[in-house]
């Protein structure tokens, strides 16, 4: 790939709140060319207003020129911790798998209609033991869903978090399809106490399709996740991480995620943007 604006484009994680054109314009005005979308929400997926709402999203994309690099699939009922998470997150819990995979397919269909060629999601606490009786049925569902995405012209990326890098690598290889990869959120590897980000890149770097540039620290005992930090202030080591990803051949988006709200979120996102621009400039100039 030639050096240029399509190398390591900067983006931000966003949701569909209110008028999509206004939301996308704010992102463009902040200097971003790409974004990832959170779950489209039931208003865009189900009910009599879904088609009208979806058309407004398409109009917003066309009007602002924003490039949506992926859409995150969310499920109702998640508990984001280490105690209740294993039974509530993603497609791993067997009692929730059927209903949720139907929803996931609906999101994939929505993305096809809007013209988005990538979906991602937290899939859950994948069994670390491949002989776990839940692993085989889970894998069968994942393989079928990833085939569905492929038929819709899409990649599917596991967002890192609830599984070790070793387990994620094995799962991707067991699925065995060429449209399956990783949305690398290095902070989540720390927040869930699963892997150290730099070491994880050694295992799964070649599968990375997108990123969440986020920071954080390892969890304390007690079942709660570790604490998210502004980019550059946690234990991700973002400079070394992006450089290592770049050496593996990654040239995709650097997508900032900051899971707070209000003015401080905007300030932290803009500071992260400045940091990433510096890192990106150094990498591209060194390799020009």
Domain count, the chain: 1
* Most distant pair of Cα atoms in the chain: their distance: 53
Across residues 113-141, what is the average pLDDT? 98
- What CATH number has the domain bearing residue 51? 3.20.20.150
Q: Are 214 and 256 in contact (CB under 8 A)?
A: yes
Q: Is residue 114 part of a domain?
A: yes
Is residue 261 in a domain?
yes
Tokens of 53: 């709402």
pLDDT (tens digit per residue) in 186-242: 999 999 999 999 999 999 999 999 999 999 999 999 999 999 999 999 999 999 999
Any domain includes 2: no
DSSP letter string, 35-63: EEE----HHHHSSTTHHHHHHHHHHHHHH
Judging by beta carbons within 10 Å of its beta carbon (0-12, 13-18, 19+), is residue 223 exposed, middle or buried?
exposed
**CA dist 112 → 42, 58, 186, 192, 261 (Å):** 16, 11, 28, 32, 30
pLDDT surpasses 80 at 72: yes
Q: Looking at residue 32, what is its pLDDT?
A: 97
Give me the domain span that covers residue 139.
10-286
Q: Report if residue 93 sits inside a domain.
A: yes
Lookup result for tokens 């819709």 = 152
Of 286, 273, 216, whose CA–CA distance to 9 is shortest? Answer: 273
Note whether residue 3 is domain-resident. no
Average pLDDT, the chain: 95
Length of the chain (residues): 288
Give 119's strand partners.
71, 156
CA distance 129 to 230: 34
């Amino acid at each position: 790939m030639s050096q240029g604006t399509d190398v390591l484009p900067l983006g931000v994680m966003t949701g569909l709140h209110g008028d999509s054109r206004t939301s996308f314009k704010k992102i463009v005005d902040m200097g971003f060319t790409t974004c990832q979308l959170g779950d489209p929400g039931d208003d865009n997926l189900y009910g009599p207003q879904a088609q009208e709402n979806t058309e407004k999203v398409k109009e917003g994309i066309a009007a602002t020129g924003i490039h949506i690099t992926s859409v995150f699939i969310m499920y109702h009922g998640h508990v984001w911790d280490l105690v209740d998470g294993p039974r509530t997150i993603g497609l791993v819990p067997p009692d929730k798998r059927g209903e949720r995979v139907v929803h996931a397919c609906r999101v994939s269909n929505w993305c096809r209609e809007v013209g988005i060629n990538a979906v991602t999601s937290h899939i859950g606490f994948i069994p670390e033991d491949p002989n776990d009786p839940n692993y085989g049925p889970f894998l069968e569902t994942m393989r079928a869903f990833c085939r569905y995405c492929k038929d819709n012209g899409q990649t599917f990326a596991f967002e890192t978090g609830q599984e070790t890098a070793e387990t994620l690598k094995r799962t991707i290889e067991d699925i065995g399809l060429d449209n399956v990869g990783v949305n690398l959120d290095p902070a989540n590897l720390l927040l869930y106490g699963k892997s150290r980000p730099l070491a994880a890149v050694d295992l799964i770097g070649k599968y990375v399709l997108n990123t969440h540039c986020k920071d954080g620290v390892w969890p304390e005992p007690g079942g709660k996740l570790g604490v998210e930090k502004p980019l550059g202030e946690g234990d991700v080591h973002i400079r070394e991480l992006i450089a290592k990803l770049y050496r593996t051949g990654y040239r995709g988006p650097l997508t900032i995620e900051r899971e707070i709200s209000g003015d401080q979120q905007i300030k932290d996102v803009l500071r992260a943007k400045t940091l990433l621009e510096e890192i990106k400039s150094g990498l591209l100039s060194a390799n020009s």
